[in-house]
Amino acid sequence: MRKIAIYGGSFDPPHKGHKLLAQNLAEICGAEKVIIIPTALSPFKESSGATAADRYEMCRLAFNEPLFEVSDIEINRGGKSYTVDTVAEVKKLYPDAQIYLFMGDDMFLSFDRWYEYEKIAEMCVLVTACRTLEPEKLEEMQKYSRDVLGLDEKNVIFSESTPIEISSTQIRNNIEYGLFDYIDDNVSQYIKAGGLYL
């Protein structure tokens, strides 16, 4: 059975932490393809000023290895991007594949607030990384998975991979000061050429 992973987010901008997370989670679940899906509008975040088209293009530049495929399905759908709709759409494209949904620990620990989260968990296996190396954090995630979400070991995979501790908000703040750490060079060039985040 094919193993196809979905990794969605604002990617505002995409950075090396996003890529490392995707690569680590793909390795732990054996995904042969990771579909990178920038949101049209996130239900959780406000826009920074970069357009959906900009974020899609930056993802194409950042995730350029054969493992990745960048998709505009949420951008084309428009409106707020609900993961339940995206997972259903990917399942139609790959009806015989096992679908995995990648996320960081912060998104995982708010999963019960996602729209129709139970349906999402029925359609795919959640794969989440613990972004800190504290054992208490992993225990918290496992307890949340069991007690709040009601998931067992078949429905969720935890990765204890070493993270890059950086957020897109910090990176946007750094860009204002001309600092482009944690961003691929081709993404940096795109940001500079478009005057994004300034």
How many domains, in total, are found in the chain? 1
Compute, in degrees rounded to 10, the torsion defined by CA atoms 61, 64, 70, 75.
0
Domain at 12, CATH number: 3.40.50.620
Query: Is 78 inside a domain boundary?
Result: yes
pLDDT in tens, 146-159: 999 999 888 999 98
Backbone angles phi, psi at 149, to 5 degrees: -90, -20
pLDDT given for residue 178 in this prediction: 85
In a domain, 186, yes or no: no
Q: Determine the length of the chain.
A: 198
**pLDDT at residue number 153:** 82
Residue 76 maps to a domain: yes
Task: Report d(CA 162, CA 26) in Å as an integer.
Answer: 14
- Helix pair 52-62, 185-194: axis angle to 10 deg: 160
Residue 83: name the closest of 57, 44, 46 by CA: 44
In tens, the pLDDT along 91-120 reads 999 999 999 999 988 899 999 999 999 999
Report yes or no on 112 lying in a domain: yes
Residue 132 pLDDT more than 80? no
